[in-house]
Structure 1
Amino acid sequence: MDDLTLDEALEDLSAAEEFLEYFGIEYDARTVQVNRLHILQRFHNYIGQAGDLPADEAPRRAVYARLLQQAYEDFVKSDALTEKVFKVFHMHEPQTTFVPLGEITLNKAGAPVAPAPAAGGCGCGSSSSGSCSSSMG
């Protein structure tokens, strides 16, 4: 791989171990074995957040090595569940949903759910001509 450009070498790498070895980063095989996809995804995320990368290969290689080292260290100090790199880890977090008051109805066992009353109406379904059939009218 020494005769390849940085971009060519990155295209050939696939396993987390290969990336770490290419950039000369020492690693614990057990940590990588458990977190390999998380490390690579975090590395990808860090590259995306880095903004404009140097055009010259040597400085860009140094940036990539630093970002990969940081991604690896994230999982040495923590774990996948805490780091939540992938969307699946966010699926069971509390979700916030707004339900307008007009959409809340009570449905007694088997009874049809009546539509919410129109503005100013009582909900009986009759027009505003005064012939209300509900107990509210």
Structure 2
Amino acid sequence: MSHCSAERPIIDVTDILTRLKGLSSAEEFFVTLGVCYDPKVLNVSRLHIMKRMGQYLAKEDFSDLTDQVIAARARATLERAYEDFATSSPLRHRVFKVLKDHDPDRPVTPGRAFVPFDSILKPFEE
């Protein structure tokens, strides 16, 4: 089940940046910006989607832009971030440091060997 209407909703763009800064849940961002989403995808990847949106927004320059343009760009960044995780797993994108640090495809840094938890649970052999 998706949270979406048949038509793209008209959103209130008045003072959009201030309003976005005041939001606290991922669902509020989707509703405020009129972006459709699948709750199953959002439940699994909400933090990753919001972090990626923030990364995309950080590259934007909103100086001297109208609220209409800002809202359109914010909507586009949220749609783009959502699509990143709707089509692949958070492990593929690794937006958080903890996931980047434990990339199995990256060689281990000398002096910082990873010890799997399973090996700690094995009985001590003399």
Regarding TM over 0.5, the answer is yes
In structure 2, what is the equivalent of residue 90 of structure 1?
100
In structure 1, what is the equivalent of residue 36 of structure 2?
26
Structure 2 spans left out of the alignment, 5+ residues = 1-10, 111-126
Q: Which runs of 4+ in 1 moved over 4 A?
A: 1-4
- C-alpha separation between the residues in 2 aligned to 1:21 and 1:92? 34
Which of residues 62, 84, 91 is equivalent to 1:53?
Answer: 62
**How large is the RMSD of aligned CA atoms in angstroms?**
2.2
1:80-112 per-position Cα deviation (integer Å, ceiling 9, x unaligned):
111101011111232455xxxxxxxxxxxxxxx
Structure 1 spans left out of the alignment, 5+ residues = 98-137
Question: Do 2:14 and 2:67's aligned partners in 1 also have CA atoms closer than 8 Å?
Answer: no
- C-alpha separation between the residues in 1 aligned to 2:29 and 2:70? 15
Higher helix share: 2
Tell me how far 1:2 sits from its aligned partner: 4.5
- C-alpha separation between the residues in 2 aligned to 1:68 and 1:2? 16
Which of residues 1, 16, 26 is equivalent to 1:16?
Answer: 26
- C-alpha separation between the residues in 2 aligned to 1:47 and 1:41? 10
In structure 2, what is the equivalent of residue 75 of structure 1?
85
Partner AA of 1:40 in structure 2: M
Greater Cα offset, 12-21 or 88-97: 88-97
In structure 2, what is the equivalent of residue 37 of structure 1?
47
- C-alpha separation between the residues in 1 aligned to 2:66 and 2:12? 17
TM-score, scaled to structure 2:
0.68
Higher RCO (CA-CA < 8 Å; seq separation 6+): 2
What SS class does the counterpart of residue 53 from structure 1 fall into?
Answer: coil
Partner AA of 1:53 in structure 2: F
